[in-house]
Amino acid sequence: MAAIFKRELKAYFKSPIGYIFIGLCILVAAVFFWIGNLAYGLANMGTFFSNVGVVYIIVIPILTMRSMAEERKSRTDQLLMTAPVRTSDIVIGKFLAAVAVLTITCVVMLLFPFILRLYGEIALGEIVIGFLGLYLMGVMFISIGILMSTLTENQVIAAVSTGAVLLLLWFMESIAGQVSSSMATTGALAVIGQIAASILNFFAVTARFADFTQGIFNLVPIFYFLSLAFLFVFLSIRVVERRRWR
């Protein structure tokens, strides 16, 4: 796993992808930080975290699109499959390399609260919780991107499909509200609507992320992000294993 991790991490910075991801995140985050905090002297960074979450929907597909799709297209995946390394090590190594790039980005963004501190007092605990939520959500988004990349050899398709899934999860709470209101009648239809809305709300990213943006430490959304990240990585491993033994 360590060899795969090092290989993938180097690949991110031998190509423009790593720099594009970090550069776009920092640039757009800096704009949001300036507009939402410095320009008005606001210490609350809740809106900043929400805006950066939206940016993730655009940039994380760029980060993960090549992880497995490029291997399949160039046929180097065959070398990995025949190498004395477990399938789980391949997938997890690639996943951790992408997470490492995300970690670098989040560490750089930690400079923003220190800049804000120069202008007055800040709620450090709330900001730390906000960054924790932003990081965990990014980890889960990366796991989705890795899964989408295992399903195709086309990087563009991998990026677009990842973005579509992330966008769907982001608006899931609104979709759940529409389902609930459209079936707001009596009888069996109302029950079905409530059940459907509850299921959709369970996967609603914004509902889970809201606690972090408000500075509320809650174990439920932490478990949500980590468990879904584990699930998508597990599914990626299964997809690769199935291809390996064909």
Average pLDDT, the chain: 84
Q: pTM of the predicted model, to two decimals?
A: 0.89
> Which of 9-13, 73-77, 106-110, 117-121 is the least confident region?
73-77
Can you give the pLDDT at residue 31? 93
Tell me the per-residue pLDDT of 215-229, one tens digit each, with 9 for 90 and over: 888 899 999 999 999
Can you give the pLDDT at residue 118? 79
Range list of β-strands (E), the chain: none
Can you give the pLDDT at residue 189? 60
| Contact predicate 116/43, CB 8 Å | yes
Tell me the per-residue pLDDT of 21-37, one tens digit each, with 9 for 90 and over: 999 999 999 999 988 88
Per-residue three-class SS string for 28-61: HHHHHHHHHHHCCCCCCCHHHHHHHHHHHHHHHH
| Contact predicate 221/133, CB 8 Å | yes
Using DSSP's 3-state secondary structure scheme, residue 67 falls into: coil
Average pLDDT over residues 8-16: 88
Question: Which has the higher per-residue pLDDT, 246 or 39?
Answer: 39
What lies within 8 Å, CB to CB, of 3 at 6+ separation is 85, 93
pLDDT higher than 60, residue 39: yes
Q: Nearest Cα to 71, choosing from 131, 152, 184?
A: 152
